[in-house]
Structure formats: C-alpha cells, structure tokens
A = this chain, B = another copy of it.
C-alpha cells in the first residue's frame, strides 16, 4: 500500500536532518534508519545506496529564473535570499554542508550556482558583470553558511533585518555601471601597485 511511501518519507526526513547536521561522511545509514524507526537494510532496499539516498534527500528544486531589468533582478535576488535566510532550508542545508566533504554534492551546488550567476551576468551592464555576479554569489553563500552552518555572531537576526543591510549591497552590485569612471567615493582599496 502507501505504507511504503510513508516509510520512505520518514527516511528522507531523517536523512535530511542528519545529513544537514553532521555532513555526508558522518551520517551513517544505520543512524538514518534508527531515527526513522526503521532498518539499514530497508533503506538500502528502497534507495539503492547511500549516494542515491543523499541525492534524493538533498535534491533542491532550484530557484526560478532571475531575469528582467537590473532593478527587477535585484528585487528577485533579494526575495530569493530572504527565503534562503528563513528558517531551516532542509534539503539545501544538507547539500551545502555535504558540499565540502562529498565532491558530487559540491559539483551539483556549484553547477546550480554558476548557472544562475552566468544568467545574471548576461543581463548586467558593465564588462566586469561576471565578477560582480560572482560577488553576489559569494555574499549569498556567506550569508546562508554564516547563518545556518557557522552561526556567526550578528547573523541571527530576522531575515528582514539582515536584508535591510544586505539588500543595498546587492542593489549596488547589480546597478553599478561596470567601469569605474565615476568611482563611488571609494577611498582607494589599499595600495595600488598595478597588479598587471
């Protein structure tokens, strides 16, 4: 019957929690089965292998497309980031944590992020668009990891408070017009020994 589906769901839920909390290597199939009130052999039977279980548990629907004018892009990015900062991303958290010890997960996350970045960069003005979209990605990565994984000080505020600080940065990254003919009143970053 659908008894099987209920068991699979319990296993997936347990897997997400444990993968997200302890990473790929430290999470054993036995532990997942125990938390799901089940058995390691059954997990193998249902999901085939630990890798496949992880793939299903960490599968994340991926954000919708980010497109439009720079202002719209900034808006979409802000909304997406706010969601990511909301409580417990579940599958995404597992993928992020595993990323650093389980190469396949890293490739998947990187592919998703770079795909979105290229898409954004193509719509930004300026010839350093890719670089700026990379910094946007880095800021996103840092905020999500810093909040959920590292629990940095000061990042435990509400998503709205966080975005009140981070939002303007994204706006600036998106709307700044590439070449710095008119530098934004920046007082020279460090010394400038022409790097090349």
Is there a chain B Cβ closer than 8 Å to A26's Cβ?
Answer: yes
Cα separation A196 to B152 with both chains bound (whole Å): 22
Q: Are A187 and B71 in contact (CB under 8 A)?
A: yes
Looking at the complex, which one of B141, B154, B188 makes contact with A131 (CB distance below 8 Å)? B154
Cα separation A22 to B162 with both chains bound (whole Å): 32
Copies in the complex: 2
Number of interface residues of A (CB under 8 A): 78
Closest B residue by C-beta to A143? B138
Stretch at the interface among A4-12, A34-42, A93-101: A93-101
Closest B residue by C-beta to A146? B138
- Interface residue ranges, A against B (CB under 8 Å): 22-26, 70-71, 75, 78-79, 82, 97, 99-101, 106, 109-110, 113-114, 117-118, 121, 128, 130-135, 137-143, 145-147, 149-155, 157-169, 171-173, 175, 177, 180, 184-193, 195-196
Nearest 8 interchain pairs by C-beta: A142-B142, A134-B154, A138-B142, A167-B189, A138-B146, A25-B25, A130-B154, A23-B101
